[in-house]
Chains A and B, each alone.
Chain A
Amino acid sequence: MLRLAPPATLLIFLAPIVAGLLGTALPAFGWFPALGGHEFGFAVFARLFAQPGLGTSVALTLFTGFLATALSLTLALAFCAAAYGTRGFATAQRFLAPLLATPHAALAIGFAFLVAPSGWIARLISPELSGWTRPPDIATIQDPLGLAFVAGLMLKETPYLLLCLVAAIGQADLARSLATARMLGYGKFTAWAKIAIPRLYPQIRLPVYAVLAFALSNVDVALILVPTNPPSLSVLIVRWISDPHLDLFLPATAAGLLLFALVVVSIGVWRLGEIAIAHLARDWLTNGERGSRGAIRNSTARAMLALLFGLAIAALIALAVWSFTLSWRFPDALPDRWTNANWLREAPSLAAPATTTLFVALCATAIAILLSVLCLENEIRTGKRATKALALLYAPLLIPQVSFLIGAQTLLVRLNLDGGFVALVWAHLLFVLPYVFLALADPWRALDPRYARIAACLGASPLRVFFAVKIPLLLRPLMVAAAIGFAVSAALYLPTLFAGSGRWTSLTTEAVTLASGGDRRVLGVYAFTQAALPLIVYAMALALPAFLYRNRKGMA
C-alpha cells in the first residue's frame, strides 16, 4: 500500500495542473465550443496581441520579475556574507519564520499604508520636515516602473531566500571552510563570495526559480502595488476574465499561455545568466586576491536587511493602527480619534472568511502532511529515493497560477465540483504540499535509522515503531511543517478565488477585494486578522512540542 503513495500523490497533484493547462490551451488555440470556437489556429493570439497596452504590460512584468528576484537574492546573499556567524545573523533568523508566516497581501497592504503619498511615512515627516500640507502628487505606489511592487515582493522573497540559505548552510558544513579561508587572509565578504556562494547556490537554485516565477506571475501583491494602465500581465489576465461580454475571455486564455511561456523562458534566461556568471567569475574565484574586510559592504547589507525587516514590521503595525482608527487626517502623525468600533462592527462579517481560512488551511495541511509522510516512509522503507519524480511536486511553484487556474475552473464546473469545499481544499493542496514536503523531507531523512531498528528488535510492529518512536521524535518538524502549510494556505489568493467560485471567501480574498476600496480602517481589520491568524498558528505549533516535552531534554 505504502508503495502507492508517491504515484498517488503525484496523480492527485499533477492531474489538475495538466488538465488546467490543457483547459487553458485549447481555447487559446481556438477550441471552445461554448463560444462557437471549433477551429484550431492562432486567431486568438492575434486578438491578444492587438490588445492595447499588452507590450507595456509584458515589459513591466519582465522588468519587475527579474529586478525583484535579483535584488532579493543579492540582498539575501550579501547579508549572509556580512553577518554569518554574528549575533545579527541569529537575530535575523528569529525574524524569518514570523515574516514568512505573514501573507504577502497583508504585507503589501501595510506597505502601501506606509509609503503611499498620503502614507504613514509622509504623515510622520509632514508638514514639519517635508513642507507638505497635502500629499504630494508623486506615484510612490503603483508607480509606472513598478518599483513599489518590486519592494513589496522583496519584503517576503528576501526572508524566504534567506531561510533557504540558512538551510543550505546547515547542510554544507561551511564553518570550517570559511575559517580556513579567513586564516589564509581572505576578507570576510570575499571569503564568503569565493567559498560559500559557489557551494550554496546549487542548493537554493529551485527556490530562486520559484521566486522568479512568483514575481512574474503574482496577482495579489500586484493588484495592490502595480500601476493599473496597464498592469502586469497576470493582473491583466484576471481583469479580462471578469469581463462581462466574454470578448476578452479567449485572449485571456492566450495570455495565460503567454505568461506560462514568459516564465519558462525567464527561468531559461536566468539559468544562462548563472552559467555566464560562473564562467566570468572563474578567474576571480581562483586569482587568490584576498579582498578588503569589506566593512562598507557589510554594513550596507546589514542596514538594507534591517530596513527591509523594519518596513515589514512597520507595515503590520500600520495595519493595526488603522484598524483602531476613527479618523486620521493627513498630515497628522497619528489618528486624532481612536475606536474599537471597526472591530466590533466587522466581527460578524469577519467570522465566515476567518472560519473558511482556518478550515481550508487545516484540511489542506493535514492531507499534505499525510501524503508527505507516506511518501517519505515509503522512501525510507524501500531505500529508493523517488527524487526525480517527486521533483514534479514543485511544478505548482514554477507554473503561473493563473495559467492553469483558468482551465481548471472550466474543468471544475464540468465535474460539478466548483464552489465546493473539496475543490477548494484540493486547489490549496497543490501549493501547500510542496512546502510541507520540503519542510519534512530533511528531518525525516536525517532521523537516525537505528531508533527504528532498536524498536523493531524489541519486537515492535512497523506501525508501532512509527507511532511510538518516529512521530514523537519528529513532532517538532511535523509541527513546523504544519505551520508552514497553514501559512501558505492562508495566504493563497487566486486558487481561493477560482476554486471557491466566490462562495468561499478567505481572509486573503476579502482583504485584497477591500484593498481596491476606500476604507483603510476596515481594510486594516481584515488585513491584520489575515496576518495574525498564521502567526498565532505558528506560535501554537512551536508551543505544542515544547509543552508536551517540557520534561524531555533535547526534544522540545
Chain B
Amino acid sequence: MMKRREFMIAAGALAATPAFAQSSWNETLAAAKGKQVFFNAWGGDERTNAFIAWTAERVRAAFDIDLRHVRLRDTAEAVQRVIAEKAAGRDSGGSVDLIWINGPNFLAMKEQRLHYGPFAERLPNFRYVDVTGKPSNVVDFTVPVDGYAAPWRLAQIVYVYDSARLPKPPRSMAAMLAWAKENPGRLTHPTARNFLGATFLKQALYELTPDRTLLAAAPTDANYDAAVAPLWAWYDALRPNLWRRGTQFPESGPAQRTLLNDGEIDLMISFNPAEAAVSIANNLLPATARATGLEGGTIANTSFVSIPYNAANPAAAMVVADFLLSGEAQARMNDPRHLGNPTVLDIDRLPPEQKKFFGEVPSIPGMPTAAELGRALPEPHPGWMTRLAADWEKRVLR
C-alpha cells in the first residue's frame, strides 16, 4: 500500500511538470468540450443550488460543458447508484460524473475502489490549494484523499442564534445542557441521518470523550462504548429538553434554519461560519442572528468533488472540478452574499489574474470574529460518525 502511494505521489509530481501538465490538460479540455456532466450534489440548500447553477453557466460559456445538477436528498443516493451500476457490470458510461462528497461516503467509495483517479493533482488550479495551513484539504476525516477527490469548500462548525432572544449563547456542551434545561424546547439538531445532525453528536463527543486521541482512528468494539458513554449520558439529559421533546427532528440544516427564523428554536448548529451572515443577506434569518464557535474549538472539514470510476465524461468532470478551484469560483463562494464559505486556496499564492476576484469583501452583519469562531479541530475517523448515527437511530426510533 505504501509503495502504491509513493508511486502515486511520484506520478503526481511528474504530471505537475508544467509542459507535460499543460499538454495533457489541453487534451483534457478538448475531450471535455460539448460533454454533459451530471453533478450529483445534495440539493437541500438553496444557496448552494444557486452557486451550482452559476457554475453551470460559467462552464458552459468557458468550456462548452453542459453541467447538470442532480439534486440529491442524500449523497448516499449517488454512491448507491454507482454501486448498483458496478453490480450490473456497467464499468463505463455511468450515470454519475461528479459527486459532492466527504466523510463516510468518500471512505465507502474509496474502500470499494469506486473513485476515478487520482486526478486532483492533475488539475492546474490544484497547485494553489492550501495543503499545509488547511490540512483537511488532503486528509478527509483522517482518511488520506490521495488525489481521489478535489477540495472545493471549507466548513467549520458554528452555532447560530438569535441575539435578540439569546444574548449570551452557551459555548460548551455543559453550558448548552444547562441552558436547554432552563429553556426547554428552544434547541434541536437535524436528524442524525443527516450529516449535520451526526456532526452535532460528533462535536459533543469531541468535547466529552475521555481520550480524544482515539478519535483519530476507526473505533473498535473494545474502545467504542467507553468513548461514547459520556456523550450519551449528556444526550439523554438533553433530549427531553429539545424541541418537540426530542421526538421529532428537522430533516436538514436548512429545515432547522427555518425553525430558527420562525422563532421555534433559539439556537442551531451549522457547518458554515457565514451561515448567519448569508442567511441575513438572503432574508432567511432575522438581522439579529449571530454565529459563534465553542470555547474548546469546533470541528472543521473540507467538501470535495470526486469522479466515479465509471463516469461517462471524466474529462469534463475534471474541468468542472478545476473550475471550482479557480479564483473566480472560490471568490464567489467566499463572498457572504453567496455562500460565505472559507476558500480552500492559499490566496497569497494566487497569481494576480486570479487574486483580483478576491476583492474587498463587504462587511456584513452576522460574521463571527476569529476569536468568536475559535480553533478548528480535525474530523474524527468516519467510523465514529457512522456508529454514532446508528446508535442515535436505535435510541430515537421506538
Which residues of A line the B interface, CB within 8 A? 34-35, 52-53, 56, 117-118, 133-135, 137, 139, 142, 144, 227-230, 239, 241-246, 326-327, 329-330, 337, 345, 348-349, 352, 409-410, 413-414, 416, 418-419, 501-503, 505, 510, 513-514, 516-520, 522
Contact = CB atoms under 8 A, between A and B. Distances in A.
Given A228-B249, A348-B53, 7 more contacts: A34-B87, A52-B397, A245-B104, A413-B84, A502-B70, A502-B95, A502-B96
B199 interface: no
B253 interface: yes
B184 to A, nearest CB: 8
11 contacts: A34-B87, A134-B263, A135-B263, A137-B185, A144-B247, A229-B248, A241-B80, A243-B80, A413-B84, A513-B72, A516-B255
Contacts of A239: 193
Contact of B104 (A135, A242, A244, A516): A244
B261 interface: yes
A118 B44 contact: no
Contacts of B38: 502-503
B207 interface: no
Contacts of A522: 46
Contacts of B68: 352, 503
B209 to A, nearest CB: 24
B77 interface: yes
Given A345-B50, A514-B43, A410 B249 contact: no
Instruction: Specify which of B70, B244, B283 lies most central, judged by the most chain A CB atoms within 10 Å of its CB.
Output: B283
Given A330-B262, A419-B95, A513 B43 contact: yes
Given A135-B264, A413-B84, A413-B88, A329 B73 contact: no
A327 B283 contact: yes
Contacts of B105: 244
Contacts of A503: 38, 68, 70, 95
Given A345-B50, A416-B90, A518-B253, A52 B394 contact: yes
Contacts of B251: 228, 516-517
Nearest to B244: A139
A170 to B, nearest CB: 43
Given A53-B398, A501-B81, A244 B53 contact: no
A437 B311 CA distance: 41
B59 to A, nearest CB: 14
Given A516-B252, A517-B252, A246 B193 contact: no
B398 A243 contact: no
A246 B396 CA distance: 21
B40 interface: yes
B286 interface: yes
A513 B71 contact: yes
B67 to A, nearest CB: 12
B71 A510 contact: yes
Nearest to B76: A244
A414 B263 contact: no
Interface in B38-89: 38, 40, 43-46, 49-50, 53, 68-81, 83-85, 87-88
A518 B252 contact: yes
B24 interface: no
Q: Of residues A134, A241, A326, A522, which shows the largest number of chain B Cβ atoms within 10 Å of its Cβ?
A: A134
Contacts of B69: 349
A244 B76 CA distance: 5
B191 interface: yes
A239 B254 CA distance: 19
Contact of A413 (B90, B256, B386): B90
A498 to B, nearest CB: 11
B252 A418 contact: no
Contacts of B40: 502
A454 to B, nearest CB: 55
A227 B77 contact: no
Interface centre among B75, B248, B262 (most CB of A within 10 A): B262
Interface string B166-207: 000000000000000000010000010100000000000000
Contacts of B78: 502
A419 B262 CA distance: 39
A135 B262 contact: yes
B232 interface: no
Nearest to A337: B283
B108 interface: yes
B80 A242 contact: yes
- Which of A241, A242, A513 has the largest number of chain B CB atoms within 10 A? A242
Contacts of B249: 228-229
A502 B68 CA distance: 11
A137 B243 contact: yes
Contact of B85 (A413, A510, A513, A519): A413
B398 A56 contact: yes
Contact of B257 (A410, A416, A518): A518
Given A117-B264, A329-B286, A52 B70 contact: no
A352 B97 CA distance: 18
A228 B76 CA distance: 19
Nearest to B86: A34
A518 B248 contact: no
B284 interface: yes
Contacts of B283: 326-327, 337
Contact of B83 (A56, A246, A514): A246
B398 A52 contact: yes
List 7 tightest A-B contacts by C-beta distance, closest first: A518-B254, A53-B397, A244-B76, A34-B87, A134-B263, A118-B262, A517-B44
A137 B244 contact: yes
Nearest to A420: B95
A133 B256 CA distance: 19
Contacts of A517: 43-46, 251-252, 254-255
A516 B73 contact: yes
Given A326-B283, A413-B90, A510-B71, A516 B79 contact: no
A228 B192 CA distance: 12
Given A244-B105, A503-B38, A229 B262 contact: no
Contacts of B253: 518
B396 to A, nearest CB: 5
Contacts of A510: 43, 71
B225 interface: no
B258 interface: yes
A239 B83 CA distance: 17
Given A134-B263, A137-B243, A413-B84, A505 B248 contact: no
B191 to A, nearest CB: 6
A519 B254 contact: yes
Contacts of B244: 137, 139
A118 B265 CA distance: 11
A505 B284 contact: no
Nearest to A118: B262
B255 A518 contact: yes
A53 B79 CA distance: 26
Nearest to B104: A244
B46 A519 contact: yes
A244 B108 contact: yes
A53 B396 CA distance: 9
B71 A519 contact: no
B264 A137 contact: yes
A242 B75 CA distance: 9
B92 to A, nearest CB: 12
A118 B254 contact: no
Contacts of A230: 397
B46 A229 contact: no
B346 interface: no
Interface string B234-255: 0000000001100111011111
A502 B72 contact: yes
Nearest to A116: B262
B393 interface: yes
Contacts of B193: 239
A139 B264 CA distance: 11
A243 B40 CA distance: 16
B247 A229 contact: yes
Nearest to A245: B108
